[in-house]
Amino acid sequence: MENTSDALCGRWKLFGLTAGLSAILLVFSLAFGLQAADEDAKSAVPAGLGKVSHPKDNLPTAEKISLGKQLYWDKRLSKDNTIACVSCHDPKKGWSNGEQFATGVDGQKGGRNSPTVLNTAYGQFQFWDGREPSLEAQAKGPIQNPIEMAITEKAVVEKLNKIEGYKQQFQKVFKTDVTFDNMAKAIAAYERTVLAGNSPFDRYKAGDKKALSEAAERGRYVFFNKALCSACHAGPNFTDNGFHNVGIGMDKKEYDVGRFAVQKLGGNRGAFKTPTLRDIGRSAPYMHDGSLKTLEEVVEHYVGGGIDNPFLSEDIFPLKLTAEEKKDLVTFLKEGLKSGDYPMHEAPKLPE
């Protein structure tokens, strides 16, 4: 927890009032079902973040989010019951998985680092190359990918329909048996609750000038000025949602073309989506190929100007940062962007 003593003090003062209101709300909740929980699901956004938009055909409810969480954690969504979404996108590892390349069924490895699920609710594009426009579409990908969960749409639907607990929940939430589309919708609804905000930076920005340590404050200044990080890592989610070639992996003869595979513009060669930096200290290793183990290495990469290539972003060039500035920058990334109420979800009980 990153709460300041002032905030804690304020919370205690409010406790009595909050407890009383909570009791009243609980009575209403019991009396009128889960309406209040549904509203919470729609509105629980940490400080510093914008409103989460939900697709009109996939509005969240508490039951749907709960179902999505079970599916997210359930290894039965893979061919051999060994891999779940959480295997590669683990809350304990920044909602990534700590390896350069995650391991799928039969010990297979992919070629890209697992992107975090944190704040994907705000993403205009999903996957490193942005090939899917929504979390609903994204959720279907890894399940069917032969080197990830490697199960067909038909097989997973049949498997889940044999689990009575799932059948009942799908009936309650969607008024259908398990379907592939609704499975994806439930997972996406859950993922939209995985939010990272309320960091020291957010409190600093809101006016608490002591929220950042001195080193983090110096690092913040470097981030938004001399190091040019905010050219791409901008806005509440620290991403411009765009695609940039930042000079990673471009020395390989057959480099990963990234966004170019989706959109055939020359400038997209070797370009990948700008990731969020929220809770970035938790999700090592870094970059689309997981080639940099620490944030210190990431900063050194950018200071060096990346691997020169014809498609290199014009905002990537050698920087003149002092050793202290580099250190401060890393401090800002690690401390300044660390969530005050990080979504450290625990595994749910899975249906039988």
Partner 1 sequence: MRPNRPTLMLCALTLFAGLFVCDSAIAQNEGEEAAAVTAKVLVTNLLNPSGLAIQEGTGHVFIANRHGVYRYLPAEKDRTKRIAIEIHTPGNDVYGKGPKYDVGPLGVAFIDGENLVVGDGSRKDGAEFVRVYKVGTESPAEAAKEDSAVHTLGPITMKEGVTAKGEGNFYGVAVGGGAIFVTCNGDDTKGWVSKSMITDGKPGELLPTIATKEATSVDAPVAITFSPDGKDLVVGQMGEMTVPGDSLLTIYDPATGKLKKSYKTGLSDIAGLAYSPKTGKLYATDFSWADTAKGGLFELTIDGDEVKATLVLKLDKPTAVAFDKDGNLFVTEFGSAAEGGTKNPGSLSIIKAGL
Instruction: Dihedral sign for Cα 158, 152, 77, 58, please.
Output: negative
Q: What letter would DSSP give residue 334?
A: I
Interface with partner 1 (CB under 8 A): 124, 224-232, 234-236, 240-245, 259, 263, 265-269, 271, 310-315, 317
With contact defined as beta carbons under 8 Å apart, do 149 and 143 qualify?
Answer: yes
Longest dimension (CA), the chain: 66
DSSP 46-112: -TT--PPP--TTS---HHHHHHHHHHHH-GGGSTTS---HHHHSBGGGTTB-SSSS-B-GGG-B-SS
Say whether 39 is catalytic. no
Q: Which is nearer to partner 1, 238 or 342 (CB)?
A: 238
Q: Which is nearer to partner 1, 69 or 326 (CB)?
A: 326
Shortest Å distance, C-beta 223 to partner 1: 9
Of 63, 136, 148, 191, the catalytic one is: 148
Shortest Å distance, C-beta 94 to partner 1: 23
Q: Which is nearer to partner 1, 189 or 312 (CB)?
A: 312
Shortest Å distance, C-beta 270 to partner 1: 10
* Closest CA relative to residue 243, chosen from 252, 232, 234, 254: 232
Q: Which is nearer to partner 1, 228 or 350 (CB)?
A: 228
Shortest Å distance, C-beta 269 to partner 1: 7
Shortest Å distance, C-beta 239 to partner 1: 10
DSSP 10-23: HHHHHHHHHHHHHH
Instruction: Write phi, then psi, for 24 (nearest 5 degrees).
Output: -65, -45
Q: Which is nearer to partner 1, 30 or 265 (CB)?
A: 265
CB atoms within 10 A of CB 240: 16
Q: Which residues are catalytic?
A: 148
